[in-house]
Every structure is written in C-alpha cells, then in structure tokens.
Amino acid sequence: MSLPFGYGVLRRIGKRLAQTFTLVLVQIWMICATHAAVAEPLRIAALGDSLTQGYGLMQQDGFTAQLQGWLAAHHVDATIINAGVSGDTTAGGLSRVDWTLTPDIDAMIVALGGNDLLRGLSPELSRTNLKGILEVARAKNVPVLLVGMQAPGNYGAEYKAHFDAIYPDLAEAYGTLYFEGFLKPLTDLGLWEQMLTTHMQADGVHPNAKGVSVIVEAMGPTVEDLVNRVLDNSVE
C-alpha cells in the first residue's frame, strides 16, 4: 500500500507541527512568566518630606507603615517604600527622584511642597520642581499619585491661588492620579482648633498617630487605584 503523498510532504508537515508546538510552548512560558511577575508585590516609592517620613512618630505609627497596613487589610499586594526626608522641599525631591526610581519601583506617590510653603518659596519654583519630578517618572514609565498641598491664607490670596493650582494642573497635564491634600482629611473633620489637640502633634504641623490613621483611611482607595493602574499597564 502506498501513501498518496511522498516522504518530502511528511517531512514538511512534521516540521510545521514542531514549529507550532514550539510556538505554543513559548506562549505558555510567557503567560507563566507574566503571572509570576504579577505575583510579586508591587513596590511603591513614597517620595515626600517629614509628613511621609513619619516625623515624631514610632515607626509603626508613621504614614508609610499605616498605609502598608491599610493595603494589607484590603488585600492589596503592594509594598510601600518610605522615601520621605524630613525638611525636604520640591527641589530636594527633584534632586533624588532619579535614583529613587530604581528599576524595581513600579509606582510613586509624590507628597512634597509643605516645606516650600514654610519657606515662602515662589509657587512657580515649586511648580517647576514638581514638573521635573513628573517628567522623570514619565520617562521611566512609572505611574504617579500626586498629593496636593494648600497654602495658608497669610501669604495672601494671590500666592494661595497660584500655589493651590499647581497640583491639579500638573495632575491633569501628566495624567497622574490626584489626592487633593495630605492634611485635607483632617481639615475636613472641622473644628481645627480641636483637631490640633486630638489629631496633631504638639508642633501643630505634623499629625499624630490618630491623625495619620484618618489620612490613610481617606487616601488608601486612591493608592489602590494606583496599584490597579500598574496592573492594567502590565496587561497592555
């Protein structure tokens, strides 16, 4: 009995089957590698000043530690890296953002500007520095959550208007996530004089552990959105 086709045809069919099988194996490997990468906790750098660093608090009571606890309680698989430096300005953040965003950092929270206000620095200078930080993040393809800051009224209405506008303007321009203000969850509670004794440290500038808890509870969902943005980008 003879086959309706020759050995050469069989050889070509076998070669194509081998190529198809190899391609399937490669695709399976890529899928497994992707799942393995996603299984690793995302790493989020919190670039900020003393509010981020946890000034005056026990380590477990600071912002990054409490935020880490919030994420764990809500089953969000991410690790918060404390990149807060007490006394840092937007200029300081700009000077160190490049080496903060190492290849293992998946996203960044930017919470800077409070010390610019304390020093009465020009809003345009703060805007330029924050813009530089966001440019570095964009170049490294790192999603950002930008945390706003509001100027006090004693600098005058014009200064306040210019400074307060920096954060929503840049968030829109760079497509970042945006949280209106680090201390805003506390001011939203009302009765600021009472908050100074119940939610703030004695200096009246830094929140105590209870105050940080209120801030984290308010900001946590936006940080979760940041994690989801990273995961969505990894699928595309």
Which stretches of the chain drop beneath a pLDDT of 50? 3, 5, 7, 9-10, 13, 17, 24, 35-38
Task: Give residue 211's Cα distance to chain centre.
Answer: 21
Residue 35: per-residue pLDDT: 47
**Radius of gyration of the chain from its Cα atoms, rounded to whole angstroms:** 25
Which of 49, 50, 106, 199 is the catalytic position? Answer: 50
Q: Which residues contact 151 (CB under 8 A, 6 or more apart)?
A: 117, 123, 159, 160, 163, 164
- The structure's pTM equals 0.82
Could you tell me the CA-to-CA distances from 112 to 131, 149, 183, 200 in Å, in that order? 12, 8, 12, 19
Could you tell me if 125 and 87 are in contact, meaning their C-beta atoms sit under 8 angstroms apart?
no
Which of 2, 35, 75, 203 is the catalytic position? Answer: 203
What number of residues does the chain have? Answer: 236
DSSP 135-158: HHHHHTT--EEEEP----GGG-HH
Task: Give per-residue pLDDT as tens, 196-206.
Answer: 889 999 999 99
Residue 72: per-residue pLDDT: 98
Rounded to an integer, what distance in angstroms lies between the CA atom of residue 25 and that of residue 10?
A: 22
Whether 203 is catalytic is yes
Which of 88, 126, 199, 206 is the catalytic position? Answer: 206
Could you tell me if 66 and 213 are in contact, meaning their C-beta atoms sit under 8 angstroms apart?
yes
Residue 36: per-residue pLDDT: 45
Q: What's the DSSP call for residue 109?
A: E
Residue 47: per-residue pLDDT: 98
